[in-house]
Amino acid sequence: MRGPRLVILDELEDVYLPVPFDHKGHAGMARMTGSCAVCHHYTPDGLKHPACKTCHERNSGKNDIHKPGLRGAYHRQCMGCHREWSGETRCGACHHAKAGAAAKGGSAVIPTPDDLIGRMHPPIPEPEVEIHTTKGEGYEPNKAIFRHKEHVRSYRLRCAECHREDNCNRCHEESKSHVQRTLTVQDHHKPCMECHRNYSCDRCRFGEDQPPPRPFDHAQTGWPLERHHEEKSCRVCHATVPFGKLDRNCNTCHPSWTPANFEHDLTGQRLNENHARFDCEQCHAERRFDRPPTCDSCHGADEGIVFPNKRPGGVLRGAGS
């Protein structure tokens, strides 16, 4: 179906100047996600897309998040994508106040990035763990575990990174109650595959009579975390998703380490007075902190001084990097 090139949004022109909407450009981008349904989320089969105001009232005074007013509907559709794609969420990017609107009795309301129904959405506490029942043609019904809190707190995923194509009806049905849906195999895979494309199914799925898979343990990567690294969220080291392997050389993340600003005791190896004044490179060739230190820059082979048989000071028990 061929749509218009440009749509003028002027339902609030008593308050704001009309907003030109590049329909053709957005329609082209929509092909990368859910096509027309990304915005036109309710179109009866075989009919043209209805105008938003057909369902969303222009001056809705209802606190009904199932069906927000027209202003809230526009914001819900536009802000989600703009926040993710362009980062441009200033009200002035689209809205320009109409001169004299207040004097003419216009009820100007300043739009906000979080506007859904004239007020901010109340905070949503994330669930600890969700267990979904999966069904699909050719598949035996089984369960899939999603550790929601872990993805939010440890992996620092924003809601929109998984829920970018959800709308209000995802949680708010006509009854306004939230009931966990039975998801198809495709439903389950779509938001997860960007990060977990190379994972085996048993990382999340399990049978009715089986225990759920264990949570992720960083030691499974061959790099167990200790002390200070264990206290950090994943995003401190892994800036982008999906997470990938990092260079294990400490200098990759800590290029500014010097004897003056690094507390060597944290490694479990205390330096004696002679070694404490050395530059890092004298023991750690090329600042490769992920490799055992070498002693041959100062000590000859005939001295027999090799780490860890001969150490540059005392060992602190229970310490770790």
Q: Which residues of 116-154 are buried (b: 16+ CB within 10 A; e: fewer)?
A: bbeeeeeeeeeeeeeebebeeeeeeeeebbbbeebbeee
Q: Tens of pLDDT along 252-293?
A: 888 888 888 888 888 889 999 889 888 898 999 888 888 889
**pTM for the predicted model, two decimal places:** 0.51
What is residue 104's predicted lDDT score, i.e. its pLDDT? 47
Give residues with Cβ within 8 angstroms of 262, minimum separation 6: 254, 280
Reply yes or no on whether the pLDDT at 83 is more than 70.
no
Q: Is the pLDDT of residue 105 over 60?
A: no
Class at the top of the CATH hierarchy for domain 7-93: alpha beta
Torsion of CA 109, 113, 119, 121, to 10 degrees: 170
Residue 56 predicted with pLDDT over 60: yes
Helix, strand, or coil (residue 133): strand
- Per-residue confidence at 116, pLDDT binned at 50, 70, 90? very low
69 vs 286: which has the higher pLDDT: 286
Contacts of 219 (CB under 8 A, 6+ apart): 225
Higher local confidence (pLDDT), 106 or 2 = 2
Domain boundaries, the chain: 7-93, 130-209, 250-303
Greatest mean pLDDT among 24-28, 119-123, 163-167, 201-205 lies in 201-205
